[in-house]
């Protein structure tokens, strides 16, 4: 009985008609296609995972979270249902282990450019970490390439300059959402013995960066878990191998469903486009549909090649099958219209049928580039098989051998000399897309001081990584979509809307444009980074993917000015006059916390400002306007005493809708949408800051502006030395109203 018949016999009554037809097309005494007939034309290495009966994987997990003892790499030659199978790694995953529950596991195979070596991740036994290994294609000559003492190394790939890129949790943080260990991109050089040396992290994100793939252009495509505020998605990103110029490639804005789509496992097609798997982020199983993306176009060119009965969004939806891990391969003997084919893993068992016994059984298949002629190659019903990688020289695969992108000389020089900063240039903050739901600052806006341009300042914030040690989480985050962060510093935005800032390198950063009151207009909802010495060019804020092509029109002159070659214009902001945000008088080295129950006497919290300036009128006894800003006794009891983690003052400001508007409706005093939209700041400024018509602001008998220092024109300026407390409250609101931003216990 061949493997195909085993699969079909197990589930014939639930396969939809179209899928039955595709699978049964491979029945018969001879192999089903030319690519399967030519013995020696190609072989494939794949993962045979011992997860058939306990697989509940999800997109947000990685090897570290999914250790299935007894999983191995298998070699099939030729790529045929009648090919010869060889287990390449059982000799390593079982050695010195008597108990199968302690066996090791192998994963993430990649084949060298000459087709003679296999690079992969392996956990040699239950007590070992995941390390990177390399071996010959027959399983001999095993070499361990990494030997880190903490964290797990996974998902390796070859770079055309001889380096190795891989993901690793060795940075020691957990993701923002599920609190799992965060794999991030790392690069290492090859030492004389082949092992990796000079390993350095090149991606900086608070969640996962996974599935690196080297495109023929030399750039690296990878999947990135984006979670900063309300966005929570898995778009495709692109980065240079030295860590410079990371940028979203596809799936950040449209199609509209991209927030729930997870774009994973990208591989290059012969035309330079990509094929990838598309899954639901919260689906019970890691699997979904397969699609082709034309990356020369914007986020609107997506073609599914799997049946419509296999929706990408299979969470709680019927799905006739699940697909994942596509890999293109060329059959030079096929007709031109069928030459490019896709190796893929598929589980033909329907899920979400209502029967309550969902399971998966992945096997290996091959199909034409348009999804037709689906044929079974191999399936063992007791295991899951996936990640098929052709064992061929790279020049014979779609895309061919990638170009080498040399290391940025500025970065190389900076790393050699110990530089710890890089620079961002932005040509025009007013050049923005219209579809992200945020404020569109007006370039013609006239400020109170007579200056033109609503965007006056830039605020740079840095992520506070959560450590893996669960005893070092600090206080609760609070009523917010945002995670822990701190203000790094500030810089002016020039009259033409441009800026250049010097910022810390190798950090997860994001930026906010601010109005004349130092309050947020636009919040950058993605983590960005610079490498040491890097000079990053950008043309606008939150603009479309297509517009990034205009970056190619920008050049850095010998004078360090930035010129637009297409228009001949030179920007006010250039790298010759960058503003170091960390040198701004309002730069911070501490975090903005609302209150700290562990240390209630801290003087640098929002509650401490209320205690110093507000509780005379807003104390516990008959607070003015019914707004109490003074803690009561139980607010000072350390956490773990059976009451709310947040203080009662925080709760009343963020949740109780205590502000009465001019028309009698109720609002929270502070909102997640920043200081300009928070009635607490309307009260401080004696006017509605996001609406000059004051349609919601209710005039009060007391003028709260007298709490603060005013400039010579009787205006409130939060950047005046005497207004540090006012700016702290603004920072707390604009950063997302977190209760705690520290990880100190």
Buried b (16+ CB within 10 A) or exposed e, 612-635: ebbbeebeeeebeeebbbbbeeeb
407 Cβ neighbours under 8 A, 6+ residues apart: 241, 242
- Please count the helices (runs of H) and the strands (runs of E) in the chain: 9, 40
Q: Give the model's pLDDT for residue 162.
A: 97
pLDDT at position 257 is 67
Tens digits of residue pLDDT in 376-389: 999 999 999 999 99
Q: How much is the mean pLDDT over the chain?
A: 88
Q: Which residue has the higher pLDDT, 419 or 7?
A: 419
pLDDT at 733: 97
What would you report as the CA-atom Rg of the chain, rounded to the nearest whole angstrom? 29
Helix (H) or strand (E) holding 268: strand 261-268
With H, G, I as helix, E, B as strand and everything else as coil, classify residue 82.
Answer: coil
CA distance 239 to 244: 6
The lowest-confidence range among 135-144, 167-176, 365-374 is: 167-176
| Mean pLDDT (whole number) for 692-714 | 91
Quote the CA–CA distance of 388 and 364 in Å, as a whole number.
7
Strand 363-368 versus strand 340-347 pairing type: antiparallel
What percent of the chain has pLDDT above 70? Answer: 90
Exposed/middle/buried for 400, CB within 10 Å: 0-12, 13-18, 19+?
middle
Alpha-carbon separation of residue 553 from 432, 548, 739 (angstroms): 18, 10, 44
Range among 173-177, 197-201, 555-559 rated most confident? 197-201
Q: Is the pLDDT of residue 11 over 80?
A: no
Sign of CA dihedral 106, 107, 108, 112: positive
Helix (H) / strand (E) containing 238: strand 236-239
Of 227, 107, 236, give the one whose Cα is nearest residue 178: 227
* Higher local confidence (pLDDT), 273 or 12: 273
Backbone angles phi, psi at 339, to 5 degrees: -70, -40
Question: What's the rounded mean pLDDT across residues 361-367?
Answer: 96
Amino acid 26: pLDDT: 36
Q: What is the pLDDT averaged over residues 677-704?
A: 93
What pTM was computed for the model? 0.92
**Where residue 443 falls among pLDDT bands split at 50, 70, 90?**
very high
**Does residue 456 register a pLDDT over 50?**
yes
Helix (H) or strand (E) holding 648: helix 648-655
Helices 17-24 and 3-10, interaxial angle, to 10°? Answer: 160
Rounded CA separation 278/313 (Å): 8
Predicted local confidence at residue 726, as pLDDT: 98
The CA-CA-CA angle for residues 633, 636, 642, to 5°, reads 90
* Helix (H) or strand (E) run with residue 500 in it: strand 499-504
Report in angstroms the alpha-carbon separations of 447 from 461, 495, 541, 715: 25, 12, 21, 11
Q: Phi, psi at residue 666, to the nearest 5°? A: -120, 140
289-298 average pLDDT score = 86
**pLDDT tens, position by position, 616-652:** 999 999 999 899 999 998 888 876 655 568 899 999 9
Q: 573-615, pLDDT tens digit by residue?
A: 889 889 999 999 999 999 999 998 888 889 999 999 999 999 9
Residue 560 DSSP class? S
- Measured from the Cβ of residue 433, the count of other Cβ atoms closer than 10 Å reads 15
Round to whole Å and give the CA distance between 743 and 422: 26
pLDDT at 53 over 90: no
CATH label, 3-396, candidates 2.120.10.30, 1.20.1530.20, 3.90.1720.10, 3.40.50.150 = 2.120.10.30
Whether the CA torsion 699, 702, 704, 710 is positive or negative: it is positive
**Cα 579 from chain centre:** 28
Q: Is the predicted pLDDT of residue 21 greater than 70, yes or no?
A: no
Domain ranges of the chain: 3-396, 414-583, 606-734
User: SS3 for 707?
Assistant: helix
Alpha carbon distance 484, 507 (integer Å): 14
Residue 232, class by beta-carbon neighbours within 10 Å (0-12 exposed, 13-18 middle, 19+ buried)?
middle
């Amino acid at each position: 009985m061949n493997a195909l018949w085993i699969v079909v016999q197990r589930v014939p009554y639930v396969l939809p008609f179209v899928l039955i037809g595709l699978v049964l097309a491979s029945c018969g005494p001879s192999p089903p296609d030319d690519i399967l007939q030519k013995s020696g034309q190609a072989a494939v290495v794949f993962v045979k995972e011992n997860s058939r009966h306990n697989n509940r994987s999800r997109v947000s997990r990685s090897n570290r979270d999914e250790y299935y003892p007894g999983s191995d790499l298998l070699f099939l030659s030729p790529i045929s249902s009648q090919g010869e199978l060889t287990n390449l790694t059982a000799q390593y995953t079982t050695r010195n282990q008597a108990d199968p529950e302690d066996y090791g596991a192998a994963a993430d195979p990649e084949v060298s450019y000459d087709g003679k070596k296999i690079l992969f991740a392996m956990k040699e036994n239950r007590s070992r970490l995941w390390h990177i290994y390399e071996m010959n294609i027959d399983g001999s000559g095993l070499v361990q390439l990494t030997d880190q003492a903490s964290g797990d190394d996974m998902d390796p790939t070859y770079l055309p300059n001889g380096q190795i890129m891989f993901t690793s949790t060795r940075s020691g943080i957990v993701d923002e959402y599920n609190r799992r260990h965060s794999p991030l991109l790392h690069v290492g050089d090859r030492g004389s013995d082949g092992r990796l040396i000079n390993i350095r992290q090149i991606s900086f994100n608070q969640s996962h960066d996974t599935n690196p793939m080297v495109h023929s252009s030399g750039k690296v495509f990878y999947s990135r878990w984006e979670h900063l505020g309300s966005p929570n998605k898995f778009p495709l990103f692109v980065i240079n191998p030295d860590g410079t110029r990371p940028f979203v490639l596809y799936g950040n804005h449209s199609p509209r469903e991209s927030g729930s789509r997870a774009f994973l496992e990208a591989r290059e097609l012969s035309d330079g486009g990509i094929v990838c798997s598309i899954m639901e982020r919260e689906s019970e199983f890691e699997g979904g549909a397969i699609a082709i993306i034309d990356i020369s176009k914007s986020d609107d060119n997506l073609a599914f090649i799997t049946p419509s009965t296999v929706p990408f969004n299979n969470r709680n939806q019927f799905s006739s099958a699940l697909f994942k891990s596509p890999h293109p391969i060329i059959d030079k003997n096929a007709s031109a219209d069928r030459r490019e084919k896709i190796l893929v893993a598929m589980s033909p068992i329907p899920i979400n049928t209502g029967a309550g016994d969902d399971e998966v059984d992945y096997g290996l298949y091959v199909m034409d580039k348009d999804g037709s002629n689906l044929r079974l190659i191999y399936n063992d019903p007791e295991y899951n098989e996936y990640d098929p990688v052709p064992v061929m020289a790279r020049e014979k695969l779609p895309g061919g051998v990638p170009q080498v992108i040399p290391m940025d000389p500025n970065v190389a020089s900076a790393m050699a000399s110990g530089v710890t900063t890089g620079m961002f240039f932005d040509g025009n903050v007013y050049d923005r897309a219209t579809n992200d739901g945020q404020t569109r600052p007006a370039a013609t806006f006239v400020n109170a001081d007579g200056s033109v341009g609503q965007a006056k300042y830039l605020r740079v914030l840095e992520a506070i990584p959560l450590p893996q040690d669960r005893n070092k989480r600090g206080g609760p985050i609070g009523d917010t979509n945002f995670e822990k962060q701190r203000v790094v510093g500030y810089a002016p935005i020039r009259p033409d809307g441009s800026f250049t800032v010097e910022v810390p390198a190798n950090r997860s950063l994001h930026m906010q444009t601010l109005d004349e009151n130092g309050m947020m207009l636009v919040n950058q909802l993605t983590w960005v980074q610079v490498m040491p010495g890097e000079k990053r060019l950008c043309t606008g804020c939150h603009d479309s993917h297509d517009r990034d092509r205009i970056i190619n029109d920008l050049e850095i002159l010998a004078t360090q000015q930035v010129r637009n070659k297409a228009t001949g214009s030179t920007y006010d902001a250039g790298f010759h006059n960058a503003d170091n945000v960390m040198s701004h008088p309002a730069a911070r080295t501490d975090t903005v916390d609302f209150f700290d129950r562990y240390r209630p006497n801290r003087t640098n919290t929002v509650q401490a400002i209320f205690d110093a300036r507000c509780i005379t009128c807003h104390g516990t006894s008959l607070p003015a306007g019914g707004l109490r800003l003074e803690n009561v006794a139980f607010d000072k009891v350390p956490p773990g005493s059976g009451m709310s983690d947040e203080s009662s003052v925080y709760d009343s400001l963020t949740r109780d809708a205590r502000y009465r508007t001019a028309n009698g409706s109720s609002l929270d005093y502070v909102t997640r949408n920043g200081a300009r939209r928070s009635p607490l700041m309307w009260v401080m400024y004696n006017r509605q800051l996001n609406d000059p018509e004051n349609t919601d602001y209710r005039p009060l008998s007391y003028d709260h502006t007298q709490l603060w220092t005013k400039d010579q024109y009787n205006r409130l300026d939060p950047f005046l030395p005497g207004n540090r407390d006012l700016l702290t409250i603004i920072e707390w609101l604009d950063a997302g109203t977190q209760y705690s931003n520290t990880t100190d216990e």
